[in-house]
Amino acid sequence: EAGVAQSPRYKIIEKRQSVAFWCNPISGHATLYWYQQILGQGPKLLIQFQNNGVVDDSQLPKDRFSAERLKGVDSTLKIQPAKLEDSAVYLCASSWGGGARNEQFFGPGTRLTVL
Amino acid sequence: GNSVTQMEGPVTLSEEAFLTINCTYTATGYPSLFWYVQYPGEGLQLLLKATKADDKGSNKGFEATYRKETTSFHLEKGSVQVSDSAVYFCALSDSNGANNLFFGTGTRLTVIP
| Cβ–Cβ below 8 Å for B99 and A102 | yes
Higher pLDDT, B79 or B29: B79
User: Model confidence over B59-98: pLDDT tens digits?
Assistant: 999 999 999 999 999 999 999 999 999 999 999 987 666 6
**Interchain CB contact of A41 with B (< 8 Å):** yes
Angstrom distance (rounded) from CA A51 to CA B109: 37
Test B89 with A42 for CB contact under 8 angstroms. Answer: yes
Of B45, B49, B98, which is closest to A98 when you measure between CB atoms? B98
Q: A1 pLDDT exceeds 70? A: no
Are residues B49 and B36 in contact, defined by beta-carbon separation less than 8 angstroms?
no
Return the residue of A nearest to B43 by Cα: A108
Q: Is A43 helix (H, G, I), strand (E, B) or coil?
A: coil
A98, A34, A96: which is closest to A67 by C-alpha? Answer: A34
Using CA atoms, how far residue B89 sits from A64, B6, B103, B106, in Å, is 28, 8, 7, 4
Q: What is the DSSP string of chain B?
A: --EEEE--S-EEEETT--EEE-EEEE-SS--EEEEEEE-TTS-EEEEEEE-STT-EEEETTEEEE-BTTTTB--EEESS--GGG-EEEEEEEE-TTSS--EEE---EEEEEE-
Q: Binning pLDDT at 50, 70 and 90, where does residue B40 land?
A: confident
Contact B98/A48, CB-based, under 8 Å?
A: yes
- Using a CB–CB cutoff of 8 Å, tell me whether B107 touches chain A: no
* A-B Cβ pairs (cutoff 8 Å, strict): 67
The backbone torsions φ and ψ at residue A84, rounded to the nearest 5 degrees and listed phi first, read -55, -40
Tens digits of residue pLDDT in A48-57: 999 989 998 9
Q: Do B55 and A100 contact (CB within 8 A), yes or no?
A: no
User: Cβ contacts of residue A75 below 8 Å, gap of 6+?
Assistant: A22, A23, A25, A32, A34, A49, A67, A68, A69, A92
Residue A96: closest C-alpha in chain B: B99
Q: Give percent of chain A above pLDDT 90.
A: 83
Q: Residue B65: its pLDDT value, please?
A: 98
Q: Which residues contact A53 (CB under 8 A, 6 or more apart)?
A: none
